[in-house]
Structure 1
Amino acid sequence: MDCAYFDARRCTSCALMGQPYARQLADKQRHAEDLLAPFDVPEWLPPVASTESNYRNKAKMVVAGTVDEPTIGILDADGHGIDLQACGICSPGHRAAFPPLARFITLARITPYDVTRRTGELKHLIVTESPDGELMVRFVVRSTEPVGRIRKHLPTLLAELPQTRVVTVNVLPEHKAALEGEHEIVLTDADTLPMRLNDVTMHLRPQSFFQTNTEIAAALYAEARDWIRGLAPDSAWDLYSGVGGFALHIADAGGADGPAVTGIETSVEAVASAELSRSDAALSRLRFATGDATAFAIAADAAPDLVIVNPPRRGIGGELSAWLEASDASHVLYSSCNVASLAKDLAAMPSLRPVRARVFDMFPQTTHFEVMVLLERVR
């Protein structure tokens, strides 16, 4: 993939841009195998490749410039806006939506935030596209001052972007390096975006995390379900469950005799999303709860047959690793976005040995990727 922004050095976020994709994928596979070599993974399945471009389902764009000529993209080193409306890793739906959104900013007179002067209102646009082409549009502003104008002119935006299902205003009053604030104002009747992956529909609320690459997320969850179906566990935990991707896929892995699954997540919004999906799917042996993964495990009376962990980049850490090592859980499914922290955690769980592993290229054109490992307890 080639990118004019990268070639002009206007945006270098995609560090591998211009490198042949086959080489990118081979290098990621090699890196994963090298870091996990001490654990003698007996089976490495072929890496799952992504499309090279158009793969992002979520665009997190900085708004700058002026109210009459806003930029949608990133900031340069001096705090000036760099417009990236034609970014090739964003979905075609994003690229089609950016010009109408820029016109709406002018129409509703939402002054872009000036980072250097600390003036203005609109900080970010966060646009998520579902597999069915529907959009969630979030305006991140400094105060509620522009909400009335956004609400007044919203019919114009919806007429120009009829695929928009959810529109919200997120309030981030502080001047800090953060994407969004805690306060969310929903302006549409719908407050969730259905994300249909495989035969599972997840309901995404505005502040819920969802995997960036829809195609690879679907492959990841389907693979997890296949691996777990062969284990036939009676009970399972999905720790760091997010909106429930793993839990929802495995809850009915055995039909009515599928495992009893508990999903644990710190985000209240994500748990609300997961509960709505569970209710819609009528999965009686699945439940979600808000809480810390480590605290939940330590407080439990007994371990389940299977524990799924999908932690942030820092990994699960020493305390949860120690608990898993000492537990009776027969299998752990570990999905990691940082193979270095995965290796550190595996070293702390010597009784849980890899059965198989696979790389999923969630982030083409970058050095990042997902790797999933199935661990089995050595008795």
Structure 2
Amino acid sequence: MQCDYFDAGLCRSCTLMGQPYAQQLTEKEALARRLLTPFGADVHWLAPGASAERGFRAKAKMVVGRTVAAPTLGILDGAGHGVDLRHCGIIAPGILAAFPALIEAITRAGLDPYDVPSRTGELKHLIVTEAPSGALMVRFVVRSEGSVARVRAVLPWLRDVLPHVRVVTANIHPEHKAVLEGEVEHVLTEEAVLPFAVNDLELQVRPQSFVQTNTAIAAALYAQAREWVDELDPASVWDLYCGVGGFALQTASSAREVVGVEAAPDAVASAELARDARYPAESDRQRIRFIAADATAFALAATEVPELVIVNPPRRGLGNELAEWLQARGPRHVIYSSCNAESLARDLAAMPAYRLRRARVLDMFPQSTHFEVITLLERT
């Protein structure tokens, strides 16, 4: 893939830009094999899951820079000034098509972009998520409550020119620090949830809940987990770090007990909405539960252990306590989905009771060194 921004040195976020995609995928699988083979000499490696090279990002997190009359959407340069990336080739075409109207909305609303060097201005980020249906969620990250009325005032115009915008919010992030968003979220539309179809499941994405950025690869990831779970047919499953419930709901069945655990309350609320739509009976709500809690604390406090555990931790991995709990008390099978093969290898080294039986690289992040690897572990 060729990128004018990369070639001009304006953005180097995609560190593999310009490298043939087949080579990227080959090298990612080679790295995964090198890191993980010590934990299972007879590992069955499934064919890697390739992604589209461009237009795969269904979520764009854009820094707003420069001036209210001519705002930029992109990143900041070394001096803290906006670099415009409104034509970024890895962002989904539907989001790119919405950028001109969103830029005009910023100007119409009089939302002065935040200037990092002087610590002045109001609008910090624009976060746009596109569902497979083409519906959009747009979040304006501003510094103060006073800007909420400005966003609200421009909303009728915005929805007129972008009728597929379903959810619009104003997120309040007053602090001067490198954090994407704040805790307070004002939903300004009647709709507060973005329906997000993945395989045969419609997830319900609330503003502050996590959703995989590459929808096609997320679908392959969930389908792979479902295939393994259906083959093993456990009566009970935990999905730790469950997010909006993707793994939990994709692997649920009419008889299986499933518990999803996630620290973010917004994500748990999203998961419960998706569960209620898919399994409306009260008995199903008792059988498929979501809990807002720290995954490690939940496991350590549990008196019973399920027949299978799914873990999908952040890049840092499970951490010592949860890895030690799995080593000491974990079930026969664990499905570990990781966005960092190095932390996965570190966790496997702390769990010698498990051997790696199956693995598959899924390229969630083309043009970068990052990728997802899903593994099936078995207690020996």
Whichever residue aligns with residue 215 of structure 2, its letter is T
Equivalent residue number for residue 76 of structure 2: 75
Equivalent residue number for residue 128 of structure 1: 129
Residue by residue over 1:27-46, the C-alpha shift from the partner in whole angstroms, topping out at 9 and shown as x without a partner, is 00000000112112520111
Distance 1:113 1:243 in 2: 31
Distance 1:108 1:319 in 2: 48
Match of 2:263 among 261, 266, 288: 266
Residue by residue over 1:220-268, the C-alpha shift from the partner in whole angstroms, topping out at 9 and shown as x without a partner, is 001100011000100010000000010010012xxx23x2000000000
Equivalent residue number for residue 361 of structure 1: 363
Q: Residues 1-379 of structure 1 correspond to what in structure 2 (within 5 A)?
A: 1-39=1-39, 40-252=41-253, 256-257=254-255, 259-282=256-279, 283-284=284-285, 285-378=287-380
What fraction of aligned residue pairs are identical, expressed as a percent? Answer: 61
Distance 1:307 1:100 in 2: 45
Distance 2:362 2:292 in 1: 28
> 1:334: how far off?
0.2
- Structure 1 residues 226 and 305: alpha-carbon distance in aligned structure 2, compared to 1, 3 A threshold: same
> What TM-score results when the alignment is normalised by the length of structure 1?
0.98
**Do the aligned partners of 1:41 and 1:357 also contact (CA within 8 Å) in 2?**
no
> 1:330: how far off?
1.1
Whichever residue aligns with residue 196 of structure 1, its letter is A
Whichever residue aligns with residue 109 of structure 2, its letter is A
Distance 1:368 1:244 in 2: 23
> 1:149: how far off?
2.0
Whichever residue aligns with residue 230 of structure 1, its letter is E
> What TM-score results when the alignment is normalised by the length of structure 2?
0.97
Residue by residue over 1:102-133, the C-alpha shift from the partner in whole angstroms, topping out at 9 and shown as x without a partner, is 11111111111111111110000000000100
* 1:116 match: secondary structure: coil
> How many residue pairs end up in the alignment?
374
Whichever residue aligns with residue 155 of structure 2, its letter is L
* 1:212 match: secondary structure: coil
**Do the aligned partners of 1:208 and 1:269 also contact (CA within 8 Å) in 2?**
yes
Distance 2:201 2:225 in 1: 14
* 2:44 match: secondary structure: coil
Q: What residue ranges of structure 2 are gaps of 5+ in the alignment?
A: none
Distance 1:192 1:31 in 2: 38
Distance 2:84 2:235 in 1: 52
**Do the aligned partners of 2:206 and 2:267 also contact (CA within 8 Å) in 1?**
yes
Between stretches 288-297 and 145-154, larger displacement belongs to: 145-154
Q: What residue ranges of structure 1 are gaps of 5+ in the alignment?
A: none
Whichever residue aligns with residue 269 of structure 1, its letter is D
* 2:180 match: secondary structure: coil
- Structure 1 residues 41 and 193: alpha-carbon distance in aligned structure 2, compared to 1, 3 A threshold: farther
> 1:57: how far off?
0.5
Residue by residue over 1:131-171, the C-alpha shift from the partner in whole angstroms, topping out at 9 and shown as x without a partner, is 10000000000101122122122100001111100000000
Between stretches 37-46 and 165-174, larger displacement belongs to: 37-46
Distance 1:289 1:279 in 2: 15
- Provide the aligned C-alpha RMSD in A: 0.8
Whichever residue aligns with residue 200 of structure 1, its letter is L
Distance 1:320 1:373 in 2: 17
Distance 2:119 2:349 in 1: 47
Between stretches 96-105 and 280-289, larger displacement belongs to: 280-289
**Do the aligned partners of 1:266 and 1:290 also contact (CA within 8 Å) in 2?**
yes
Distance 1:321 1:312 in 2: 14
**Do the aligned partners of 2:324 and 2:350 also contact (CA within 8 Å) in 1?**
yes
Between stretches 141-150 and 260-269, larger displacement belongs to: 141-150
Distance 2:327 2:307 in 1: 13
Distance 2:274 2:202 in 1: 7
Residue by residue over 1:73-111, the C-alpha shift from the partner in whole angstroms, topping out at 9 and shown as x without a partner, is 111000111110000000001111111011111111111
- Structure 1 residues 233 and 96: alpha-carbon distance in aligned structure 2, compared to 1, 3 A threshold: same
> 1:190: how far off?
0.4
Distance 1:158 1:177 in 2: 30
**Do the aligned partners of 1:79 and 1:115 also contact (CA within 8 Å) in 2?**
yes
* 1:60 match: secondary structure: strand
Distance 2:112 2:89 in 1: 27
Distance 1:146 1:294 in 2: 38
Distance 1:153 1:309 in 2: 42
> 1:327: how far off?
1.3
* 1:146 match: secondary structure: helix
